[in-house]
Amino acid sequence: MYQSAKYLINNHKVMYKFLFFLFFTISVSICRAQVVIGSSNVTPSAMLKLDSNTKALRIPGFSIINNTDALTPISSPANGLMVYNTSSDISNGIDKALAYWGSDGQYHFQGSTNIADNITDKDRIPILVFSANVGPKQPDTAGTTIFKTIPLAGAEILLDQHFAWNSDRYIFPKSGVYTVEILIDLSKSSTITNIGELRIINNGTTVATSFVKVIPSFNRGSIPVTLTRNFNANTNLIFNYRFSNLGAGTYRLESGTINIYRH
């Protein structure tokens, strides 16, 4: 009888020790808030630690085709949600890379800080970073020698990869080699043979000039300019035009195109 009682007491002690150890382990785990897989070494700053020479963490792969879509491919993504994107769209800054949903309501891609920059810098492929269709401008009084600057309204801008256009000028987002293409069509009311002139100006310095002689019977002329050179970050580019020897009447910029490529 005595032995049986002693046996039960010892069993209770063992059980108490086991429960205490279990409770202590759970408490420590909760306090540390850390899970370690693959080793017994802990890192105090990590909630989850994976130690392995042959295995790694695999992030689920989804196709993100719109970086501001809060429904597709994941409905109502939480801030910091991380996935691997399996699709790409350079024009919209979407890359095949790790992506997370930010507090600004869009996915951010970790393949590079800027997808367009990554493509051009790594593969040396020129990419269109700005494009505009220039619409008709207000007529200008004939006889003046003052150059007119080409402004652009929002609807005229077809692509602005770096949001670099500011009213009547393009501000380069980073230093590098760019190709600038511009073509404008000028009309005039007078019948005098005139010279149309187009200038590209970088930070106050004329870097390219083109002329066209307008035949009186047509009263129109197209002026093209193509320029490839190095431009510094935060410098601006403006486009000026005019008619010389106008005499009487008026002249007008009827249409045009502006394209800027980065190499």
Residues 138 and 241 in one domain: yes
Residues 174 and 246 in one domain: yes
Residues 147 and 85 in one domain: no
The pLDDT of 84-104, averaged and rounded, is: 85
Residues 185 and 105 in one domain: no
Bigger pLDDT: 219 vs 248: 219
| Closest CA relative to residue 216, chosen from 252, 188, 256 | 188
Domain final position from 123, 139, 167 = 123
At 8 the pLDDT is 46
At 38 the pLDDT is 78
Mean confidence (pLDDT) of the chain? 81
Structural domain range at position 199: 127-262
Domain final position from 70, 94, 123 = 123
Q: Is residue 9 part of a domain?
A: no
The pLDDT of 62-89, averaged and rounded, is: 92
Q: Please state the pTM of the whole predicted model.
A: 0.57
Contacts of 218 (CB under 8 A, 6+ apart): none
Return the half-sphere exposure (C-beta side, CA atoms, 13 A cut-off) of residue 182.
Answer: 24
Q: Is residue 4 part of a domain?
A: no
Q: Is residue 25 part of a domain?
A: no
Residues 186 and 206 in one domain: yes
The pLDDT of 228-239, averaged and rounded, is: 94
Return the half-sphere exposure (C-beta side, CA atoms, 13 A cut-off) of residue 103.
Answer: 0
pLDDT of residue 203 exceeding 70, the answer is yes
Confidence at 27, pLDDT banded by 50, 70, 90: low
Does residue 80 contact residue 47 with C-beta atoms inside 8 Å? no
| Closest CA relative to residue 238, chosen from 141, 159, 169, 140 | 169
CATH of the domain at 144: 2.60.120.40
Residues 88 and 148 in one domain: no
Residues 257 and 166 in one domain: yes
Q: Is residue 240 part of a domain?
A: yes
Q: What's the Cα-to-Cα distance from 18 to each of 15, 27, 32, rounded to whole Å?
A: 5, 14, 21
Q: Which of 157-161, 186-190, 192-196 has the highest mean pLDDT?
A: 157-161
Residues 160 and 247 in one domain: yes
* Angle (CA) 80 83 87, round 5°: 130
The pLDDT of 193-222, averaged and rounded, is: 82
The pLDDT of 4-9, averaged and rounded, is: 50
Q: Total domain count for the chain?
A: 2
Q: Is residue 36 part of a domain?
A: no
Torsional class of 176: left (φ above 0), alpha (ψ -120 to 50), beta (otherwise):
left
Instruction: Reduce the DSSP state of residue 26 to 3 states and report it.
Output: helix
